[in-house]
A and B are shown apart, each in its own frame.
Chain A
Amino acid sequence: MNTNLKISNVTKIYPGCIANDNVSLEFNSGKIYALLGENGAGKSTLVKILSGVVIPDEGKIYLNKNILKLNSPSDAKKNDIGMVFQHFNLFETLSVFENLIIDSDEQRENLKEKIDTIMKKYNFSVDLDVPVLNLSAGQKQKVEIIRCLIRSPKVLIMDEPTSVLTEQETSELFLSLKKFSEEGILIIYITHKLKEVMQLCDEVAVMRRGKLVSVSQINNENIESLANKMVGQDLKTIKKKKENTSSEQLIKITNLNFTSEDPFETNLVDINFSLNRGECLGIAGISGNGQSELFQVLSGEIISNKNSIEFNKNFIGDLNPQERREYLMAFSPEDRLEQAAIPQMAIFENVALNNFKSSNFFNNGLINESKIKEHSKKIISEFNVNTDNIDLKSQFLSGGNLQKLIIGRELITSPDLLICFNPTWGLDVGAINYIHETLIKINEQNKSIILISTDTDELLKLSDKISVIHRGKLSKIMNAEDVTSEKLGILMGGGN
């Protein structure tokens, strides 16, 4: 049975921005469609319209030539449109089975049978009786997908599904999606990751600033062409100049160990490495292998043995982040919204989070607001943060602008070492480029970087040396020229 979904002249206007400007698209089952665009390009709005969360101002949606009235998410369900959101909508403390049956009127036994069939058919292995909070992100996503499949949907929409998945989980997901597609489910895949589009999809629609820019067969496209369509300008390909880096050692980690009391954290075992001025050390790995713990140990959120970290000839293992900053270290954590910045606070207040003695943000325990504001303005102009209102709450900055603010805040004091963890996670191509250029620039100024990242391409592009973290252990440090992504992949999986 063929499914045809048609979006016809859909427009949605929010105060101050046109989220969807006269968008028309047609989808047919048997293919996997990519909806590609930067953050804020209007993909999410379009998807919300299809799932009944948002009602369009104008335009119509047809399913198999019939007009669809989508006034609420339940209308979408009734019309066999299934949706897996980027953020999971699961009850953490309920069991997997309870989560699956919670919004269904069918009999428990019937559902049990149905779920078993689905799991067998697609080779899903999830324990139905454990509470959802014990599942990994990949398994949680499977639960969401099964919940859609129970209703035997005609259309399945996936909103940036891989942002929380490991590489392995991602390839598993792709296999399942291809299988669904073969069985006649129409799949719409929303993403801004170009590589995934090339791997998975048959047709790609690119959106930019609320408008549909192009619809094309994947065979006629490559990563560069898609990137250019998405950003709307030709991207400079940035390359790191290979210069003779100095041989002056900046930081040396010796026999660093961390044993966590929390069973969900990873222990760090015998970490040893050193880094010279002007170098970038990339640390690769599948997420959850101790990156977060390593970052915290390096930043001082977790305090370790004094002698385990030697920085600029000082032993600083027992200092907290603020004290380490005084020795000219800077940190950019992975989680922008919950750690690196506070969305509910103004931009200038977020700037004050990186507080040096010499910055004079706080004199004798009092807030020196004019000093902080002056400093904030400098950051905003030097690091191209797209606003001129430093009283704005930082939640109104886009991900890219917020990251520029954070990196700017950390770099404006010209530290000797920047430690960053997934600095371009979830950003659009334009912002990623900017951040990459900035990181290269500080290397050229003879400053060092430790880049912990799960993005292999990024690591290969920026690093001089690369190591892989696996189950809390670092591999030996390799020169970046001798490393290929295949080799990294093997090490990341625990091979040799």
Chain B
Amino acid sequence: MIKIVKRDQPSKAIFFFTPVLAIFLTLIAGGIIFYILGFKPFEALKFFFIVPIADKYGFSELLLKATPLCLIAIGLSFCFKSNNWNIGAEGQLTFGAIVSGGVALLFYDQEGFYILPIVILAGAIGGMIYASIPAILKTYFNTNEILVSLMLVYVSKLILDYLVVGPWSNPEGFNFPETRQFSDSARLPLLFEGLRIHAGIFLALAAVVISWFVFYKTYLGFQMKVSGFSLKTAKYAGYKGKKMIILVFLISGACAGLAGVGEITGPIGQLHREVSPDYGFTAIIVAFLGRLHPVGIIFASLVVAITYLGAETAQIFMQIPKYTGQVFQGMILFFLLASDYLLFFKFKFIGSKK
């Protein structure tokens, strides 16, 4: 007989085991879906998860996709750890891309080492400005940050649309909805000849290190932890709640903005309608799959990045719609939430007595 028993205390091991279990279950469920669709499950999974990263180019693509996911998820974990539900990272990314893109366009016909730092800074500031809107509305007008940050995503996408079609569209671009190409000085340097992986990955790695330090070694990290467990306790301890809400939103916005910079000054090189394939939303899954832990987030971003690549490969080689990638992302989150049950309960096998 199997009995479900409440755990006294979730162990550290189970805390990191459940994400692995979730990924495993996702693979099984994915295989079943492929089978129902009429594909050989193992072959399909191979095309989805192994073929895309089997060569040097594929691996570079993996890191390319994982970079923004990791960066945004790190930023989001500042919010999520302290009980602030910023789900508008996609908007902050877009607005960061708009601001930094605008600055890059100012310098479109210039060269100089100073251009890139200004562009990067502009992106971070853009993201911060955009994230400050839900933060200020929450602290001073008691609005719900989930709704505000989400709705602002669509606003930012429409602003971008307007800009690339209207005022910022390339005058020599035959009315295509895109801006001029940025000058080379405004582009993040490539790491290897012929591969698309760019210097933005260092931004992500720096964010990992800094966030680890802040979370576990600083007073701010301690305050975030307390607020995450109980806002009542944070108030009782006398932490300045409003200040912290604004601060974590700014950090989160800056990270998303930097991810936007990485995209437009890295692989894209200009502004157009689709600067991000929903990295801002997918990063929410990454943050939770990585348990809001900086190192966990690195692994989670790699896993989730594969679903982007796999979807493309599967579309090309097997004519499976690329939206399967989103199905997989959804399944990961679904199974993660389900296997989190194991954090609080365990199965006990009881032999029949006597």
Contacts and interface: CB of A to CB of B under 8 A. Distances in A.
A188 to B, nearest CB: 24
Given A335-B232, A339-B230, A342-B230, A355 B218 contact: no
B226 A362 contact: no
A339 B236 contact: yes
Q: Is the interface of B mostly helix, strand, loop or mixed?
A: helix
A331 B232 CA distance: 14
A341 to B, nearest CB: 7
A434 B217 CA distance: 36
Contacts of A321: 235-238
B220 A365 contact: yes
A367 B232 contact: no
B219 A367 contact: yes
9 contacts: A324-B238, A339-B230, A339-B232, A342-B226, A362-B219, A366-B217, A366-B218, A366-B219, A367-B222
Contacts of A325: 238
Nearest to A339: B232
Interface residues of B, number: 19
B240 interface: yes
Contact of B240 (A320, A335, A395): A320
A314 interface: no
Interface of B: 9, 217-222, 225-226, 229-230, 232-233, 235-240
Interface of A: 299-301, 320-325, 331, 333, 335, 338-342, 344-345, 349, 352-355, 362, 365-367, 393, 395-396
A393 B7 CA distance: 14
Given A352-B222, A353-B226, A367 B217 contact: yes
Contacts of A367: 217-219, 221-222
Nearest to B236: A339
A237 B235 CA distance: 37
A233 B235 CA distance: 40
A396 B219 CA distance: 25
Contacts of B232: 335, 338-339
Contacts of B222: 349, 352, 362, 367
Contacts of B237: 321-322, 353-355
Secondary structure class of chain A's binding surface, majority of residues? mixed
B236 A331 contact: yes
A365 B218 contact: yes
Given A299-B236, A366-B218, 17 more contacts: A320-B238, A321-B238, A322-B237, A323-B238, A325-B238, A338-B232, A339-B230, A340-B233, A340-B236, A342-B233, A345-B226, A349-B225, A352-B222, A353-B233, A353-B236, A355-B237, A362-B222
B114 to A, nearest CB: 31
Contacts of B233: 338-342, 353
Contacts of A340: 233, 236
A324 B9 CA distance: 35
Chain A CB count within 10 A is highest, among B229, B233, B239, for B233
B255 to A, nearest CB: 20
Nearest to A368: B219
A297 B92 CA distance: 38
A140 B336 CA distance: 35
A341 B229 CA distance: 10
A113 B96 CA distance: 64
A338 B230 contact: yes
A341 B233 CA distance: 7
Contacts of B219: 362, 365-367
Given A340-B233, A366-B217, A345 B225 contact: yes
Contacts of A339: 230, 232-233, 236
Nearest to B220: A365
A215 to B, nearest CB: 30
Nearest to A352: B222
A489 B188 CA distance: 76
B5 to A, nearest CB: 11
Nearest to B237: A353
B238 A300 contact: yes
Nearest to B216: A367
A365 B223 CA distance: 11
A366 to B, nearest CB: 6
Contacts of A365: 218-220
A322 B218 contact: no
A284 to B, nearest CB: 23
A338 B221 CA distance: 20
Contact of B238 (A322, A338, A344, A345): A322
